[in-house]
Amino acid sequence: MSAVTASTGMPTAVSKGAFDVDWRQIARTGGLLALGLVFIALTGMPVGLDERTVIEPWLSLGLLSLTFLPFVLGYTVGHEKVLEGVAAKAKGARDVVAGAAVGALGGLGLSVLVVLVDNFDLRDPLVNWSPQLVEMLSFDQSVGFGFVAWIAISGALGAAGGALHVLPHQVRRAVVAAILAVLLTAIFESFLTDVIDQLEFLYASRGGLTNVWAVVVFVVAMAVSLSGGGEKLGERRAAYQAASGPAKNRQTALFIAAFSLAMIIIPLVTGKITQELMANVGIFMLLALGLNIVVGLAGILDLGYVAFFAVGGYTTAVLTSPNRGPDWPSWVPTLDGPGGWLIALAVTIVMAIFAGLVIGAPVIRMRGDYLAIVTLGFGEIIRLLFLSDWLGGYFNGAQGITNIPSADFGIFEVKGTDPRSVFYLVMVLAAISIYISWRLEHSRLGRAWMAVREDESVAEAMGINTVNVKLMAFVVGAALASFAGAVFSAKVGSIFPTSFLILVSIVILVIVIVGGMGNIVGVMVGALGLVGVLGGPKQPGLLQEFSEYKLLIYGALLIWMMLNRPEGLVPNVRRSRELHQDEFLQDAWLRGEVDRDESTTEAEASANLADGLGTNGGAS
């Protein structure tokens, strides 16, 4: 059964019959699909998002939430690892069959669900077990129709997913790009029309891409991809990564300049909604940049990072609002005049550093899991302190502090009703944060953080005061979080203990992990992708429709990332080395970079020996 052709010795693809598929794998994936679809149906997403059209009139976001999965799993079931030197199995009809089978199996899950929902009443434990679900899943026809339809639809989608394998690599990429382009143009309708009013023509009056324009977008995206648009981008990136020295610096500078310019211009042309969104993204970006120092650079898993955000927010509020608690002595000023916010910010930073030291000192001597749990506790303790009656005279407990004035710089006022001003302020602070992160990462402190992350006891044996170094990370992180807190209170105008729930810590952490721990660009991408698209803990994102399912999607995304790309979207070089050491070493070995043999020659060794021992008189 050797597939190696005698003439070249190279393995070739083994062709197989259409039904020569791995049925166990299909059963497993199909079962998974069925469970996934039923789960999604029962979360209420299909019904809840049915009103939002993606493509007029036949595809709603609700329907999409069910139909994307058969397609994706139909593709993945045919995905086989190709091992070096082992003949790959030829792609062909069998992939389509496998995809269709998986899809049909998954569809069967939904079909059964339709029948069950129609005949039994389980609304009590399952809130979304409703007649609407039946209606939606049977396309307003009979239940029998729905039953058959789902097997057919899902099977067809699975087959389509499987068929991707048959396409040549480039075409496959183009198709995927085109599908994504259509979906993204449809989903980001409100954003796109907010930025460029003229784009309205793409969409139907009730929302959703029109059929014609969907086809146009599809074709255009496909053409762009086929003409090598994506490849050129990839080449540019590779070239940038390979570059070094002044050339690279110049490119980096160019990129930063272009990016900054875009950040200045975009808010000028967009509407309020987008500006608001960008301001929220900015605040979370600030937080994530700070946490990135703690988690990404120093490797301290801090689950209570929100504590510093809270300290920052409350300090600014106390210093600027006339409505702070009554117990403050009169020498604590109310800085609500022009420039007051800046002074408050300075005090806020000092307070955050102090908080970082106070919380950090007991926590930092712990390692690993213990440290994570304790920080989690401290995060809650700080919030409960602000909520408590004991400090109620200072922080008003659950009533919070209201009437926080906007940040008045005299010539420029940053207030919540003008999200663009907030965005600009946030961007200035983010630039400062990025600068700080970047400088510190490339200093001896940054190196020490790296060493601590790699092996704490060895780092200590090499003369690094690990307690100091880790505390420093904590303190810098706290200071950066306080930036966000200060902006947040000026923007929102009122803060409450519930503004600083543990959920905020989790969301920031997810941003850092998904974006790419230890990578500044990654963290920014993470903030934009998660808070911008899905929304923050309380802030709506671009996909406002998803806000109910936001946390569900966050969780799913986190799990998916951990399984498939633990280093994040834009990984830090070292981190990916750590996580993929085997592959990295294999690559390096293939490139001939791993040293195999020693070059020591007999003569060299003897010379060295004579050298070393000769000069000190020797011991023997």
Partner 1 sequence: MSHLLEIEQLSVTFGGLHALKDLDFHVDEGEIVGVIGPNGAGKTTFFNMISGMVTPTAGDIRFEGESLIGLDPNQVTQRGIARTFQNVRLFANMTILENVMVSQHCRAQQNIFGALFNTKGFKEEEAEIRRRGEEILGFFGSRLVGYRLEQPASVLSYANRRRLEIARAMATRPKLILLDEPVAGMNPMESRELTGLIGRLRSEWGFTIVMIEHDMDVVRDVSDRVVVLDHGETLAQGSFEDVSTNPAVIEAYLGRPLEDRAAADRPMEEQS
Residues near partner 1, by CB under 8 A: 435-436, 439-440, 442-445, 447-448, 450-451, 454-455, 457-466, 472, 476, 574, 577-578, 581, 584-585, 588, 593-596, 598-602, 604-613, 615-616, 618-620
CB count within 10 Å of CB 4 equals 13
Residue type, 478: A
521-542 burial string, b = 16+ CB within 10 Å, else e? ebbbbbbbbbbbbbbbbebbbb
Residue number, 217 or 459, with CB nearest to partner 1: 459
State which residue, 346 or 613, has the beta carbon closest to partner 1. 613
Nearer to partner 1, 454 or 548 (CB): 454
Task: Tell me the closest approach of the beta carbon of residue 495 to partner 1, in angstroms.
Answer: 30
Q: CA distances (Å), 383 to each of 255, 304, 400, 517, in order?
A: 40, 10, 11, 26
Task: Give min distance, CB of 432 to partner 1, in A.
Answer: 10
SS (H, E, C) 448-508: HHHHHHHCHHHHHHCCCCHHHHHHHHHHHHHHHHHHHHHHHHHHHCCECHHHHCHHHHHHH
How many residues in the chain?
620
Nearer to partner 1, 330 or 620 (CB): 620
- Output phi, psi for 103, to 5 deg: -60, -45
Q: How far apart are CA 148 and CA 306, in angstroms?
A: 50
What does residue 453 show for φ and ψ, rounded to 5 degrees? Answer: -65, -35
Q: Residue 494: what are its φ and ψ, rounded to 5°?
A: -155, 140
Kindly tell me which of 172 and 447 has the beta carbon lying closer to partner 1: 447
140 or 593: whose CB is closer to partner 1? Answer: 593
CB 74 to partner 1: min, Å:
38
* Nearest distance from C-beta of residue 562 to partner 1, angstroms: 19
Shortest distance, position 488 Cβ to partner 1, whole Å: 24
Q: How far is the CB of 615 from partner 1 (least distance, A)?
A: 4
Cis before 57 (ω within 30): yes
Least separation in angstroms between residue 211's CB and partner 1 is 52
Residue closer to partner 1, measured from CB, 167 or 450: 450
The smaller minimum CB distance to partner 1, of residues 122 and 585, is found at 585
Q: How far is the CB of 245 from partner 1 (least distance, A)?
A: 12
Query: Mapped to the 3 state alphabet, what secondary structure does 99-131 carry?
Result: HHHHHHHHHHHHHHHHHHHHHCCCCCCCCCCCH
Strand partners, 408: 413
Nearer to partner 1, 326 or 592 (CB): 592
In whole angstroms, the minimum distance from the beta carbon of 461 to partner 1 comes to 5
CB of 574 to partner 1, least distance (A): 5
Min dist. Cβ of residue 618 to partner 1 (A): 8
Checking phi first, is residue 390 left (phi over 0); if not, alpha (psi -120 to 50) or beta? alpha
- In whole angstroms, how close is the CB of 374 to partner 1 at the nearest point? 21
CB closer to partner 1, 172 vs 577: 577
Name the residue nearer to partner 1 (CB basis): 345 or 401: 345
Number of H helices, E strands in the chain: 26, 4
How far the first Cα of the chain sits from its last, in Å, is 65
Q: How far is the CB of 494 from partner 1 (least distance, A)?
A: 34
- The token pair at 592 is 């001939």
Closest distance of CB 620 from partner 1, Å: 6
When the beta carbons of 369 and 593 are compared against partner 1, the nearer one is 593
Give the Cα separation of 29 and 76 in Å (integer): 9
For residues 110 and 137, what is the distance between their CA atoms, to the nearest angstrom?
Answer: 8
Q: Between residues 50 and 460, which has the closer beta carbon with respect to partner 1? A: 460
Nearer Cβ to partner 1 (310/473): 473
- Asked if 351 and 500 touch (Cβ cutoff 8 Å), the reply is no
Q: How far is CA 466 from the centre of its chain?
A: 30
**Dihedral, 408, 410, 413, 415 alpha carbons, nearest 10:** 20
In 350-421 the beta strands, taken as DSSP E runs, fall at 407-408, 413-414
Q: How far is the CB of 440 from partner 1 (least distance, A)?
A: 6
- Token digits of residue 537: 């803990």
Closest CA to 367 of 265, 470, 498, 463: 470
What is d(CA 311, CA 200) in angstroms, rounded to the nearest whole number? Answer: 44
Question: Is residue 22 exposed (0-12), middle (13-18) or buried (19+ Cβ within 10 Å)?
Answer: middle
User: Between 142 and 443, whose beta carbon lies closer to partner 1?
Assistant: 443
**What is the b/e burial string over 411-442, where b = at least 16 CB atoms within 10 angstroms of the residue's CB?**
eeebebebbbbbbbbbbebbeebbebbeebbe
The answer to whether 310 and 478 have CB atoms below 8 angstroms apart is no
Per-residue CA distances from 126 to 88, 133, 549 (Å): 46, 12, 16
